């Protein structure tokens, strides 16, 4: 029934920046810089289509293991993009959010990010969530800790713990689960991204590298999504009745 609908929530693993740079004999950071253009275009596209939530995997917990100069370059790029793009995001009613272990980021990055989040907090358009120092297992363990705290404080019986109770402690609480998850560059893995939330997501793995991902590629992703029948464990007949 919802086949022709636009997904409410799309999540993207932006992959292939390094390979893109290598193709042109450039330093990896140039791949990330060009990736920012694709971020801008993806945000615009979602706004135009009426997507409500766009979540971007911008920096994973595992990315801390990259060479120091690449990490520094990414931090600079992030601050630069946040400072430069926030007025435009605001003008377009985009509300910025972030999920992940933000406390692990340098203070200047946290500061600029929090300013931008605060500045756009009353906007009513697209919710753009950046997953930063994020990993799903980290998120789930944090959620377990908070669940246990509540259980102890409120003397809750284990048998009353259910999915709803647990997911209130996830960083994505309040957002619908992503109906569509895109990973560019041909890799077909989730890499510790939204493991809980992806329970019923459709996956789309285009070969295009993230810095080359344009509106036409996003359009293909939506075409592919529309072709799929989302059954949530039911039969085709139940869905189409």
Interface residues with ligand FPP (CB under 6 A) are 14-19, 32, 35-36, 39, 56, 58, 63, 77-78, 81, 130
Min separation Cβ 206 and ligand FPP, Å:
14
Min separation Cβ 78 and ligand FPP, Å:
5
The smaller minimum CB distance to ligand FPP, of residues 56 and 175, is found at 56
Catalytic residue among 27, 63, 92, 192: 63
Antiparallel, parallel or unpaired: β 127-134 and 95-99? parallel
Active site residue 15: yes
Active site residue 223: no
Min separation Cβ 34 and ligand FPP, Å:
8
The smaller minimum CB distance to ligand FPP, of residues 132 and 143, is found at 132
The smaller minimum CB distance to ligand FPP, of residues 18 and 143, is found at 18
The smaller minimum CB distance to ligand FPP, of residues 20 and 225, is found at 20
The smaller minimum CB distance to ligand FPP, of residues 16 and 206, is found at 16
Min separation Cβ 192 and ligand FPP, Å:
13
Catalytic residue among 15, 177, 212, 217: 15
Min separation Cβ 57 and ligand FPP, Å:
8
DSSP string covering 94-154: -EEEEES-GGGS-HHHHHHHHHHHHHTTT--S-EEEEEEEE-HHHHHHHHHHHHHHHHHHT
Tell me which residue has its CB nearest to ligand FPP.
Answer: 18
Of the candidates 112, 114, 134, the one whose C-alpha atom is nearest the C-alpha of residue 59 is 134
Catalytic residue IDs: 15, 63
């Amino acid at each position: 029934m919802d086949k022709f609908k636009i997904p409410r929530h799309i999540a993207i693993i932006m992959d292939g920046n390094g390979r893109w740079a290598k193709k042109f004999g450039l330093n990896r950071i140039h791949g990330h810089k060009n990736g920012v253009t694709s971020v801008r275009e993806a945000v615009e596209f979602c706004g135009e289509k009426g997507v409500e939530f766009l979540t971007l995997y911008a920096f994973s917990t595992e990315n801390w293991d990259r060479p120091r100069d690449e990490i520094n370059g990414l931090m600079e790029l992030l601050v630069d993009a946040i400072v430069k793009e926030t007025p435009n995001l605001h003008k377009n009613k985009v509300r910025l959010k972030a999920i992940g272990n933000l406390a692990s980021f340098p203070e200047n990055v946290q500061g600029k990010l929090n300013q931008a989040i605060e500045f756009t907090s009353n906007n009513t358009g697209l919710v753009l969530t950046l997953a930063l120092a994020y990993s799903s297992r980290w998120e789930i363990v944090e959620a377990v800790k908070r669940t246990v705290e509540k259980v102890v404080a409120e003397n809750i019986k284990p048998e009353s713990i259910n999915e709803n109770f647990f997911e209130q402690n996830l960083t994505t609480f309040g957002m619908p689960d992503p109906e569509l998850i895109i990973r560019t560059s041909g890799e077909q893995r989730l890499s510790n991204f939204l493991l809980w939330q992806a329970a019923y997501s459709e996956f789309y793995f285009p070969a295009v590298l993230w810095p080359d991902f344009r509106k036409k590629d996003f359009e293909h992703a939506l075409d592919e999504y529309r072709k799929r029948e989302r059954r949530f464990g039911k039969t085709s007949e139940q869905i189409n009745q």
